[in-house]
Structure 1
Amino acid sequence: MPDSSQSRRIVSPAATDEEIQFEASLRPKRLDDFTGQAKVKELLSVTIEAARRRGEAMDHVLLIGPPGLGKTTLANIVSQELDVPFDLTSGPMLQKKLDLTGILSNIRNRQVFFIDEIHRLLPDIEEVLYSALEDFRVDIVIGQGPGARTHSLPIAHFTGVGATTRQGLLSAPLRGRFGLILYLKHYDVPEMQKIVHRTASLLGTPIDTDAAEEVARRSRGTPRIANRLLRRVRDYAQVRAEGHVDLKVARMALDLLEVDRFGLDEIDKKIMLTVLEKYGGGPVGLSTIAASTDEEPDTIEEVYEPYLMQLGFLDRTPRGRMATERAFEYFNVPRRPMGWGMGPNQPKLF
Structure 2
Amino acid sequence: MKTNNQSAVLVMLDRHLGNFLVASPVLRHLARQFQTAQLILHSPHAALAQRIPGLPKPHLISAARDNLWSRARLFHQTLSAIRQHRPQMVIDFGGSKTAALAGGLSRATWRICHQGAPHARLYNRHADPGGLGHHRIDTYGALAAAAGHGYGWGHPSLQATEEDHADLASRGLGDPGDIVCLHVAGGKGYKHWPLEKYARIIDWLANQGLRPALIGAAPDRLAANQVLEHCQQRPLDLVEQLPIGTLIALLSQCQLFVGNDSGPMHVAAAAGSPVVALFGPTDPSRWGPLSNRTTIVRGTQAVAPGQGKSAYAEGRTMESISLDSVLAAIAQQLETNTPSLFN
TM range (shorter): 0.3 to 0.5
Q: TM-score, normalised by structure 2?
A: 0.36
* TM-score, normalisation: structure 1: 0.35
Higher relative contact order, structure no. (Cα contacts within 8 Å, ≥ 6 residues apart)? 1
